[in-house]
Amino acid sequence: METKKADLSSLKIDRSNSDHNSGGGKKIIINTAVTLLVIILLFTAGYFGWGKIFDPGEEIKLTSAVMISPSQSNAVLTASGYVVAQRKASVASKATGRLVYLGVVEGDPVLKDQIIGRLEDDDVKAQLAQTQATLKLYEADLMDVESNYKRMKELYEAKVSPEKDLITAEAQYKRILASIELAKAQVQSAEIAVEYTLIRAPFSGTVLTKNADVGEIVSPLGASSTSRAAVVSMADMTSLQVEADVSESNIERLKPRQECEITLDAYPGSRYAGYVDKIVPTADRSKATVLVKVAFKNYDKRVLPEMSAKVLFLNEAVQEEALTAKPILVVPKAATAVRDSKIVVYKVVDNSAVEVAVTTGKESGNDIEITSGLSDGDKVIEKVTDKIQNGTKIKIL
Domain map (residue ranges) of the chain: 58-69+327-396, 71-84+240-323, 87-119+197-238, 121-196
Identify the CATH number of the domain defined by range 87-119+197-238: 2.40.50.100
Contact predicate 193/97, CB 8 Å: no
Contact predicate 244/78, CB 8 Å: no
Q: How far apart are CA 304 and CA 275, in angstroms?
A: 18
pTM beyond 0.85, yes or no = no
The conformational region for residue 257 under phi > 0 = left, psi -120 to 50 = alpha, else beta, is left
> Looking at domain 121-196, does it have CATH number 3.50.30?
no
For the chain, 397 residues long, give each residue's pLDDT as a single digit of tens. 444 444 545 555 555 544 545 555 556 666 676 677 767 766 665 555 544 455 568 899 999 998 887 777 778 899 999 999 999 999 988 888 999 999 999 999 999 999 999 999 999 999 999 999 999 999 988 888 988 889 888 888 888 889 898 899 899 999 999 999 999 999 999 999 999 999 999 999 999 999 999 999 988 875 545 567 889 999 999 999 999 999 999 999 999 999 999 999 999 878 899 999 999 999 999 999 999 999 999 999 999 999 999 999 998 887 777 777 778 899 999 999 999 999 999 999 999 999 999 999 988 778 899 999 999 899 999 999 999 999 999 988 8
- Give the sheet arrangement for strand 359-364, strand by strand: 66-68, 328-332, 367-372, 359-364
Q: Could you please state the CATH topology (level 3) that the domain comprising 58-69+327-396 is classified under.
A: 2.40.420
> Looking at domain 71-84+240-323, does it have CATH number 2.60.40.10?
no
Torsion angle, CA of 373/376/378/381, rounded to 10 degrees? 80
Nearest by Cα to 83 from 257, 256, 272, 283: 272
